[in-house]
Structures are given as C-alpha cells and as structure tokens.
Chain A
Amino acid sequence: MATTAVNWSAIDSDPRFQSLHRRKSRFLWGLMAFSVVFYFLLPIGAAYFTDLFKAKLWGVINFGLIFALSQFVVAWGIAWYYARRASQFDALAEDIARDAQRIGRTR
C-alpha cells in the first residue's frame, strides 16, 4: 500500500472524523430504516388492508395505485435528499483528507 504514511487510527480518533462518523451513521441508517419500512407497507397493505387499497380517490384511481406510485416518488425523494446531505459530508471528509498526513504526524 502506498499510504503507509497515514496514521489511520489517529484520524479515526480525530474529533472531526468522530463527528462526521456520528452524523453520517445516524443519517444513513435512519433513512435506510425509513425506506425499508415504507416499502414493506406496500405488500403488507395490499394483503391485509385490501379495503383501504380498493378505496377510490379520483375516478377509477384507488388508494393502492396512488400508494404504489408514491413508492417511486419517495424513492426519488430519498435519492435527492441523500445527495443534498452527502455533499455536506463530502466537505467534512475533504477537510479531513487534506490534513490526513499532518494528523498522522502530530499525534
């Protein structure tokens, strides 16, 4: 490996990295949990809440159809929201990466 000059454990315990790690983990796993739960509401709802799914909302269009279409909108929304937040994490990571060699030596 060409990167032996970097002190990885020093970066790992650097407060900036710790804060990045904390914020990113909470954000990612929270969003992940939300998206999984939202998705499984579709097969569960279609099987056990058939009356709700059959309820007509607009002409022949029923709740089930709207809910299935909403899955697409929500998935795209999650992607958009993630991209926005990830660029903030990028800035923090870049900050750490720029100092990577120095963090290794000063500790």
Chain B
Amino acid sequence: MKPKRILLSLGGAIIALGASPAFAQAVASEYRFLTFAVFGAIIAVTMFVTYLAAKRTKTAADFYAAGGGVSGLQNGWAIAGDYLSAASFLGIAGLISLYGYDGFMYSVGWLVAYITVLLVIAEPCRNIGKYTMGDILAFRNNPRVAKAFMALSTITVSTFYLTAQMVGGGVLVKTLIGIDYEISVATVGVLMMAYVLFGGMVATTWVQIIKAILLVVASLVMVAMVWGQYGFNLNGYLGAVVADPGVQAQVARLLGDAGRNMTPAELGQRFLEPGLLFKSPIDQISLGMALVLGTAGLPHILMRFFTVPTAQQARKSVIWAMAIIGGFYVLTLFLGTGAAVKVGAPAITEIDRGGNMAAPLLAQFLGGGKDSLLGNLMLAFVAAVAFATIVAVVAGLVLAAASAMSHDIWVGVVKGDHATSDEELRAARICSLIVGIVAIAIGILAKGQNVAHLVALAFAVAASANLPVVLLTLYWKRCNTGGVVAGLVVGTLAAIGLVLVSPNMTYPGQIRATQERAIKAADERIAKLNAELSTLSDATAIDRTKQAVAAAEKAKAGAEATIKSLGDATTSLVGLSEPLFPLRNPGLISIPLGFLAVVIGSLLYRDRRAEEMWDELYVRSNTGIGRAAAAAH
C-alpha cells in the first residue's frame, strides 16, 4: 500500500511537471554559451585542484582528514563553503526579496549556531576524535556499539541533507542553463564523485574554499553595485526600498485584506517589520533550537575539525568561519532587498515560486538586463557559483557518509579496528562510490518532490540525537554506552516521527477542502464578473473584466488539477487525515527527549569502561595531551 502510494504521488508530480508549460528559463538561448564557458572554467579549475590533491592522497588519514594539514584560516573558509548551501545563498536572499524582515531574521540562527560549535564542540572534538563522530563516542563507550549507532545516525542525517541538495541542485541547474533535470543531477553527482574519489578530503577542502571565495566575491560585487548608488548610506538605501512601488505592492499582496486601509508609505515600511512570513512564533523557536544545537551535530561540519592539527587551529577556523558566514548573511540583506526593488517579486516568483532565483536575477539586472552581454555574463557567473555551492556541499556530505560507512562500520565494527591504511583507503573509496551512486539515484527518484523541509529535518535529527550524545560524552561523567544508544535511537525516531505526523506532510482531505473552497470562490467570482460584463460599455473596462474572468478560470482549473492529482487518497503517508503534531519543526520536543534519553539510558546501564576512561577523556579534551599521537596516525 505505502510504496504504491509513494509511486502514485511521484507519478502525479511528474505528470504535473510535464503538463505545466516548460519551466521559465533565466538565460536566453543566444547567451547560453556564456553559462557553459563560466561553468566550464570553474569545473576545469576544481578538476586541476583535484588532480593535485589526488597525488597527495596516499593514506586513509589523507582521505578522511587531509592528513591533519589544513590551517585554521583555510579550514574557516572550507567550513563556510561546506555550510553555505544553495538553501542559504539562494534561499535566504529569496526569502528577504519576498518577505523582507522575516527573511533576514531567519538568517540569524544560521550564524548563532556557530557559537555552540565554537564554545563547546570544536576543540574537544579535535582533541578526542580522529576521523569521524563515531571516533569521539568510541573513546569511552563500547567502540563497536557506539560506532555502529553513530554511523547509522550520520548516514541518516547526511542522506536527508543530501536528498535536499541533489533535488534542489537538479532544479537549479535545469532552470539556470536549461538542461534536463536528470542530466543536471547526474552532472552534480559525477563531479562530486570525482572530487571525493580521487582527491578525498584534500580536494573537497579546496573545492569548498574556492566556492566560498567565489560566493563572497560575487556577493560583494553585487552589494557594492546595489548599495553604492546610495553612497553606502543604510538609511538612504532602505528608505528607497520602502518607497519602491513594487515593494509596496508585494506587501499589499501578502497582507490581503489586512493591508487594504494602509497608505503606500505604511505598506513599504511594513516590509522592514516582522510577521510577513512567520505566523507561528513557537515554530520559529523550535526551528531556532534545531539550528543552534543541530549545526554542532552535523557530521560533515564536525568532520572538518579533524583536518586541522591542533585545538587552537580548530578554534581559529570557527572564528574565521563565523566572520565569513556572518558577513555573508549581512550581505544577503542587500541582495534580497536589492532584488525586491530591481527585479520585483512578480518576476522572481515567475521563475521560481520559492524566490530562489532572486540573487541570479539581480545579477542579470545589475549587468544591464536580459538582453545585454554583461547582464548574462553576471547571471552566468552567479549561476556557476550556485552550481559550485551545490557540488561543494554535496562532496562534504558524501565524504561524511562514506567515512561513517568505511571507518566506523567496516573497519570499526566488522574488522574490529584491524585494517591497514591501504585497506581502509580502498574501503573509503568504495564507500564513496556507493554513496555517490545512491545520491544520484535518490536525486532522480525524488524529482518533483517537495524536499525543502528535509534540510530542517537533518538539523532536527542532528540536534536531537547527535548533539546530546556527543555533548554528554564529552562533559558528563556518568554518560555511557547505554545512554549513547538510547539517545541516538530516541532522538532520531522522535525527530522523524514528529515530522511524519506534522503539517509538513500532505493531507489530501485538508487539501481537497481548501481547493473546493477555492473552486467555489472562483465560481462565484466568475458569475459576478459575467453579470458585471453585461452592464459595461467602456472597452477598457470590458477588457479588464474579461482578463479577471480568465484569471479566475485559471485559478479554478489549477485547484481542480490539484484535487485530481490527489487521486483517491484520503489520508497522509502514515494514514492520518490531519496533523497530530501542530509544529513544522520538531526540535522543541525532540531535542529535550534526546537529552533525556541519554541521561536515563546512562543511569540504567552500567559500563565500567565509560567510568574508567572519563579522567583520560576529560584531561585530554581540555589539555590536548596525547593529541599528537592521534594526529600522527
């Protein structure tokens, strides 16, 4: 029953995509060569870097952790490159362009998350761990059990994140350069596999650094062009934003009836006030918890701290990462508001309803517009940066999942930690190949699915399962294997389970009711307009009314198509007719549950090794004694 339903909804989505007129494309076909040239240049540079890196990747330590030879500054840029996914580069700029203040507020949590990483995670992890999160837990817990469960959790989190990136990347490349979705996904996948397979962590690090530099340069240039007109005066610039008729019209659209009695100036000012996007503060707080605690539990981010030689360099890398990531989010305020004024919400949503194309379209406008060479060159550059962004993030994710498979499961659990460096290197490459192929397959299978919430789910699982077990292993004397297993299982299941019964899922009954209401409203409107039509004599008024009738008929047809796409389904994937859990973000409940499970599991279980190793772990994590032995392999 269930697989059938998944297939049905997948089929429905594909039909819906095929039936809709071909996706609007950002680049005119006569300028397509520019896009290919810029993409080609970036791919060539990263391939050359991979070739150099492949020569330096001789041992398992090189493959997993770049031999511990990355500097704090380099790692800071690489963390920024690993973290600033397309969701934050394109997504947040898009949210700001459509919803103003709320979009900017959303970006704050992504930076604040690094305070947790800096204060309590980065340095102890560097001192205790070797290649994976499993290593940190295995230090004092039962190594086989801890590694097996941690690896499963790593693969779960990375797969959620990876799916969102592959699908998002496929749609993005398709929209930007107009090649087929499947080819886009395969291109992203093959490139990423080339970096990871041949160059391991060394190549991944440099691809991430290059991408972060390109991203920052592109953003700085665009912000200088947008803001420079106003002499870099913040008040003058934002004054122009709120005075823009397009921005005022967008706010009026968002507010609907509530904005009917507001003056244009009030509507514009409303763009800089909270509440246009987020309606549920509790959900916001729940998401904030997942961000602030989840980042410190993301395997592909934690893994980056094993690439630097000392805890001091790990600290330095987080501080650099915070400067770059925070600076970037401040720039998105200007990218987003700039796109709102120069491009305008209707043009942004025409190409992508979520607003993801705001920054690329702004680049095109700043270069001179749709029909200019420079405009299309700038668009091509920003598109290539977005492409590099996806490839770099995906490479980091695949490396994290593959390391968990080869280092934790194959070497740690199956081989009992007995494998030569050559054997482990080969295992790591085979696992990367497997994960890469699976990633491409998932990307193609999930075509047309709404996967945006999977990133939030990855953060929620990381915050509810990974962070509690790592934090308590490092800081709580009584923590042991029982707590680790309980925490990972309960945290993961709670986060996923709550999402399965949350409003994120599709509830056919509710959708049908909303769409039927919409059809009824459209019918009434059509009847009313037709009645008006017979009384009108002015040609322009008749024209306008006819257009309104056509729009209402289109809305009605859209609602009917939506109902049709539901088929005969009446309940959600897990058989519910309405959500059991009111929040879209499970963190508020699942994070405390994860911590509680670690505490209860530890108290109920007795593990001599965890107690005996506490002194060593705590002294090592605070002083770095014995770290040299870990880094020298």
Residue ranges of A at the interface with B (Cβ–Cβ < 8 Å): 1-3, 6, 8-9, 11-12, 17, 20-21, 24, 28, 31-32, 35-36, 39-40, 42-44, 46-48, 50, 53-54, 56, 58-62, 64-65, 68-69, 71-72, 75-76, 78-80, 82-83, 86, 90, 93-94, 96-97, 100
Contacts and interface: CB of A to CB of B under 8 A. Distances in A.
A69 B285 CA distance: 18
B624 A2 contact: no
Nearest to A25: B475
26 contacts: A1-B629, A6-B625, A8-B616, A32-B116, A40-B285, A40-B288, A43-B278, A43-B285, A46-B281, A47-B281, A53-B273, A59-B236, A59-B238, A60-B239, A60-B272, A61-B235, A61-B238, A62-B269, A64-B101, A64-B273, A64-B274, A71-B112, A75-B111, A78-B118, A93-B624, A100-B623
Contact of A93 (B322, B329, B623): B623
Given A24-B622, A46-B105, A82 B615 contact: no
B115 to A, nearest CB: 5
B116 A39 contact: no
Given A40-B285, A59-B238, A28 B623 contact: no
Contacts of B273: 50, 53-54, 62, 64
Contact of B238 (A60, A72, A75, A83): A60
The B interface, classified by DSSP as helix, strand, loop or mixed, is helix
Interface residues of B, number: 54
Contacts of A58: 235
B588 to A, nearest CB: 11
Contacts of B269: 56, 60, 62
B120 A50 contact: no
A105 to B, nearest CB: 15
Contacts of A68: 101, 104-105, 108
Given A2-B629, A17-B623, 15 more contacts: A3-B626, A11-B623, A12-B618, A32-B120, A43-B281, A46-B274, A46-B275, A47-B278, A50-B273, A60-B269, A64-B273, A71-B108, A76-B326, A79-B115, A93-B624
Contact of A82 (B119, B234, B619, B622): B119
A96 B351 CA distance: 61
A83 B285 CA distance: 28
B112 A75 contact: yes
Contacts of B284: 43, 46-47
B330 interface: yes
B315 A97 contact: no
- Shortest beta-carbon contacts, A-B, top 9: A47-B281, A46-B274, A59-B235, A8-B616, A3-B626, A8-B615, A43-B284, A93-B623, A12-B615
Nearest to B623: A93
A39 B632 CA distance: 39
B109 interface: yes
**Residue of B281, B288, B625, B629 most packed against chain A (CB within 10 A):** B625
A21 B115 contact: no
A85 B323 CA distance: 18
A106 to B, nearest CB: 16
B623 A97 contact: yes
The A interface, classified by DSSP as helix, strand, loop or mixed, is helix
B626 A2 contact: yes
Contacts of A72: 108, 111, 326, 329-330
Contacts of A94: 623
Interface string B225-247: 00000000011101101100000
Interface in B104-142: 104-105, 108-109, 111-112, 114-116, 118-120, 123
Interface in B8-43: none
B285 A96 contact: no
A11 B619 contact: yes
Contact of B275 (A1, A50, A61): A50
A5 B78 CA distance: 37
Contacts of B322: 75-76, 79
Nearest to B109: A39
A69 B333 CA distance: 10
A54 B262 CA distance: 15
A70 B150 CA distance: 37
Interface in B241-281: 241-242, 269, 272-275, 278, 281
B623 A59 contact: no
Contacts of B101: 46, 64-65, 68
B288 A43 contact: yes
Contacts of A62: 269, 272-273
Nearest to B275: A50
